[in-house]
Amino acid sequence: MSAARRIIAISGGVGGAKLAQGLAAELDPGELLVVANTGDDFEHLGLRICPDLDTLMYTLAGLADPARGWGLAGESWHCMEALGALGGPDWFRLGDRDLATHLQRGALLRAGLSLSEATARLATALGVRHAIVPMSDAPVRTLVDTDRGTFTFQEYFVRERCEPPVRGVRFDNAAAARPAPALRDWLAGSPQPVVVICPSNPWLSVDPVLAVPGLRERLAALPVVAVSPIVGGRALKGPAAKMMAELGLPVSALEVARHYRGLARAFVIDRADEDQAGAIGALGM
């Protein structure tokens, strides 16, 4: 059965997953494709860690921990405690049940499945009804240049607690990436999809997706609506506001709209930022 309408939602982790969850509640499975940032992924303890994919998967399955937003509700941490006692790296907390996801993902990848295929298997097993895909099956790694050196995303975000002042963000290996097959199909198929950029960090969570060669241009040809992650000069979640200030940018919804100029045709702001609507409209949104 072909869908009457199709929405592509581009999302990072916790903040974006909330909007993806809302869209999933409103749309039939064939009507929504959730595209996850995989720039945050890394190899850790011999495992392929895909935080944004997993956050989306757990959220849409109704299994995410409501307080943290990431990981599973009702999680136990025996493995991390044992690892710490052995002097192992326990700064990145993988719960016992979350570890099962990682073990199974590793097994699927070693059996030759792509990250898209492995994600589909895991999501289906968890009861997710809507499609979640990585932006690309090839690894792209977000690198954060700071005053204290260059860090991979999770080193910056979790181990360094976003403390080092950010000077720039890069996406290693992006040039070699291609959009995931399902995303390519949706972009080429009909009816023409509407694209929703979730309220994720534009620089850390959305830009890695847009760095996949050709993707920004393909998306810009479609109706794109972006949702501001900045409300009243503060980030809904995470280090977006701190980072914007460190990059010398005004911390405002308007500045996020400027970031999406030429891509988004509509921009959703909170009533608290109503005074910026005129300036955002002047950007052509």
Residues that bind ligand FO1 (CB under 6 A): 12-14, 40, 51-52, 54-55, 70-71, 92-94, 98, 154, 157-158, 205
Question: Of 187 and 243, which CB lies nearer to ligand FO1 in the complex structure?
Answer: 243
CB of 14 to ligand FO1, least distance (A): 5
Instruction: Please say which residue, 23 or 53, places its beta carbon nearer to ligand FO1.
Output: 53
From the CB of 3, what's the least distance to ligand FO1, in Å? 28
Token code pair at residue 114 = 């792509």
Residue nearest to ligand FO1 (CB): 13
CA distance 142 to 116: 19
C-beta closer to ligand FO1: residue 94 or 132: 94
The token duo for 198 is 């979730």
Q: How far is the CB of 185 from ligand FO1 (least distance, A)?
A: 26
Tokens found for residue 12? 């990072």
CA distance 14 to 20: 10
* CB-nearer residue toward ligand FO1: 31 or 98: 98
Query: Which two tokens mark 3?
Result: 């869908």
Examine residue 191 and say whether the peptide bond preceding it is cis (omega within 30 degrees of 0). yes
Distance CA(224)–CA(116), nearest Å, equals 23
Q: Between residues 169 and 280, which has the closer beta carbon with respect to ligand FO1?
A: 169
Q: How far is the CB of 198 from ligand FO1 (least distance, A)?
A: 11
Residue 193 Cβ, how far from ligand FO1 at the closest point, in Å? 24
Report d(CA 222, CA 124) in Å as an integer: 29
Could you tell me the smallest distance in angstroms from the CB atom of residue 187 to ligand FO1?
A: 24
104, HSE (Cβ side, Cα atoms, 13 Å): 16
Evaluate the omega torsion of the peptide bond into residue 199 and state whether it is cis, within 30 degrees of 0.
Answer: no
134 close to 119: Cβ distance less than 8 angstroms: yes
Which of 41/273 has CB closer to ligand FO1?
A: 41
